[in-house]
Structure 1
């Protein structure tokens, strides 16, 4: 005969072995990633893969349960949803404002002035902050962007009132 609780105790042990936390344990701090399109002091844009690690486990609104949160900066923002037509070509341009860009459907690319090209798909995050870039010898400024594939690309853009910086890759951690 199996004692009451034996199956559940065995299951809890198995979950801890495979890395899943029990309900009464605090899960490990997460790390998320974003691409930062930033400009250096010479006005050249770059793409850097940056971690977000300063999470606190707390509720956003009681009685909802706690979730990991990293509040990067408070302040006004505007949310914009865009649909770029198939084969959209953004040409070379700086971001209009410091803005977070999240692809929702489809893939798009960003190429910085240093030649680093990043292709991003749904759920990846990019911080556009190349407003301080300056035209190079080829006439490039900011970044080149466009769609990958034959379908439209849906993006969510969160434009902020942040002042653009230079020489600060990964400034939001």
Structure 2
């Protein structure tokens, strides 16, 4: 399993990296059989939001360290480095560009983007 990691360098310029989530065999819901599972990570908040069709924001940093899960629609995100990624339903990305110049997000197409956001400690 992978996620898209958006972080920033020492100059505050955001950039992307594809990261593999380490999984190992473990018990999640005994007596169900073991399954590949990640380590737990402490979380602060869970929220849901909708980016309406046609929405496009100004360049901004992430409000806090968080993980986004795209439930529907398509997004285009441009990192401060100029690299662009597009993704849709099923995409997972971790946003840790919290203090630099940030990134730009744009909704693609005529469908709203529905997101679930888990904000980290």
Match in the other structure for 1:60? 28
CA shift, 1:152, in A, is 0.4
Q: Which has the higher contact order (CA 8 A, sep 6+)?
A: 2
Aligned to 1:45: 14
Q: Secondary structure at the match of 2:54?
A: coil
Distance 1:76 1:51 in 2: 20
Encode CA deviations 1:24-48: one digit per residue, 9 max, x unaligned. xxxxxxxx11111111011111111
The C-alpha deviation readout for 1:77-106, integer Å capped at 9, x for no partner, is 211111111111122110001000111111
- Work out the CA distance in 2 between the residues paired with 1:104 and 1:83: 10
Corresponding residue pairs, total: 121
What TM-score, normalized by structure 1, do the two folds share? Answer: 0.66
CA RMSD of aligned residues (A): 1.2
- Structure with the bigger percentage of helix: 1
- Normalized per residue, the structure richer in strand is 2
Query: Residue in 2 aligned with 1:155?
Result: 115
Q: 1:105 aligns with which of 68, 72, 92?
A: 72
Q: TM-score scaled to structure 2, two decimals?
A: 0.93
Structure 2 runs not aligned, ≥5 long: none
Structure 1 residue aligned with 2:47, among 67, 80, 91?
80
